[in-house]
């Protein structure tokens, strides 16, 4: 029965989610876990340069992992060697910039063994008959959530309850991101250890309230501002296509201390997948990606003036570092 009257809750616009006709779960990693369980996967190919939590999910199911290598363009080395692969093959749409390559892979692997990790590419379309999962938390202020495009054996799953996971979001909305950081880390640990549940109702309501067009445009514009200034020093050769909506601007320079310098200047940049430091990575490209990529924020909270400030801080650091 509907409650009538009483106190007011969040006033959220009742629009549409960006993704529809999907399995809605409580995290991207649990989307993968759901797929692995339903398909009874026994072995899988995956890049060493992948989210460690995904590798952990696969290991927890005692699935045999075959690691493949990627090149300086985040593309599979010696791809032709895998043309006769019969088991599942997972590829990450790195930084939301590999949509054309994903399309190419979908034609290369013609027996529906491809799985696409679009956790870094929320706005990318899924391809028919290819299992694809997304992580809204990487793009929006939601306490949980994952989307999975998958046509087989859907089953009803109890929805998660994320009411205990809101403190960092409220502090962030109140422009107290620094104060909310520890609560954010606690929520990340909480999600890491949660079983596979459905997306919470509050997350779905928030995702229905978002102006997706505005956010897409902001990300693309901010990416271009960075690229115009930083392309000459970036060791990664980037190309943004018409349908790409990037996750970060991945800047790779062979300088130690830049990340810490940015954080000192209250420019908060993550280190993607730091746990991979403990793995034996023989591929020089993957090693460099783990150790030298600085993911610069380009999301909808960032304006051109913020991008220019970040660029100035980076250029000054690199100039001073050269003098040492």
Q: Please, what are the domains in the chain?
A: 23-208 (3.40.640.10), 212-323 (3.90.1150.10)
pLDDT of residue 242: 87
pLDDT digit string, tens, across residues 264-273: 999 999 888 8
pLDDT at 306: 95
If you average pLDDT over residues 93-106, what whole number do you get?
Answer: 97
Buried b (16+ CB within 10 A) or exposed e, 77-112: eeeeebeebeebbbbbbbbbbbbebbeebbeebeee
What value does the mean pLDDT take over residues 287-315?
94
**Which run of H or of E encompasses 73?**
none
**Strand pairing partners for 64?**
43
Helix (H/G/I), strand (E/B), else coil: 249: strand
Q: What is the pLDDT of residues 191-219, one digit of tens each?
A: 777 888 999 998 999 999 999 999 999 99
- Give mean pLDDT, residues 91-120: 95
CA-based angle 107:112:116, to the nearest 5? 80
Reported for 201-206, long-range contacts at CB under 8 A and 24+ positions apart, including other chains, are: 201/159, 202/143, 202/162, 202/163, 203/136, 203/142, 203/143, 203/144, 203/145, 203/162, 204/17, 204/24, 204/145, 205/10, 205/12, 206/12, 206/140, 206/141, 206/142
More confident residue, 186 or 237: 237
Would the pLDDT of 298 be above 90? yes
pLDDT tens for 154-186 read 676 887 777 776 677 766 666 677 777 777 777
Condensed to tens digits (0 to 9), the pLDDT of residues 109-146 reads 977 899 999 999 999 999 998 999 999 999 998 989 99
């Amino acid at each position: 029965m509907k409650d009538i009257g009483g106190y007011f809750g969040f006033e959220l616009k009742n629009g549409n989610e960006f993704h529809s006709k999907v399995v809605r779960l409580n995290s991207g990693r649990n989307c993968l876990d759901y797929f692995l369980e339903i398909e009874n996967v026994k072995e899988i190919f995956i890049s060493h340069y992948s989210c460690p939590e995904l590798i952990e999910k696969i290991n927890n199911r005692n699935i045999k992992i075959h690691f493949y290598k990627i090149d300086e363009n985040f593309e599979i080395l010696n791809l032709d060697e895998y043309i006769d692969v019969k088991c599942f093959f997972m590829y990450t749409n790195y930084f939301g910039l590999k949509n054309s390559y994903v399309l190419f892979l979908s034609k290369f692997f013609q027996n529906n063994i491809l799985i696409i990790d679009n956790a870094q590419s929320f706005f990318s379309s899924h391809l028919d008959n290819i299992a694809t999962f997304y992580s809204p938390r990487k793009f929006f202020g939601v306490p949980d959530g994952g989307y999975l495009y998958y046509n087989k054996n859907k089953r009803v799953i109890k929805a998660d309850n994320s009411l205990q996971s809101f403190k960092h979001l409220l502090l962030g909305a109140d422009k107290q991101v620094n104060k909310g950081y520890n609560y954010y880390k606690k929520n990340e640990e909480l999600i890491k250890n949660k079983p596979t549940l459905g997306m919470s109702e509050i997350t779905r309501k928030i995702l229905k309230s978002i102006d997706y067009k505005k956010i897409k445009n902001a990300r693309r514009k901010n990416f271009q501002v960075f690229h115009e200034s930083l392309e000459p020093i970036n060791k990664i050769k980037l190309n943004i296509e018409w349908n790409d909506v990037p996750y970060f601007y991945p800047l790779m320079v062979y300088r130690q201390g830049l990340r810490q310098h940015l954080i000192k200047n209250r420019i908060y940049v993550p280190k993607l997948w730091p746990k991979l430091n403990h793995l034996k990575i023989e591929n020089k490209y993957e090693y460099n990606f783990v150790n030298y990529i600085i993911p610069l924020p380009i999301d909808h909270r960032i304006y051109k003036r913020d991008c220019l400030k970040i660029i100035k801080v980076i250029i000054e650091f690199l100039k001073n570092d050269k003098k040492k």
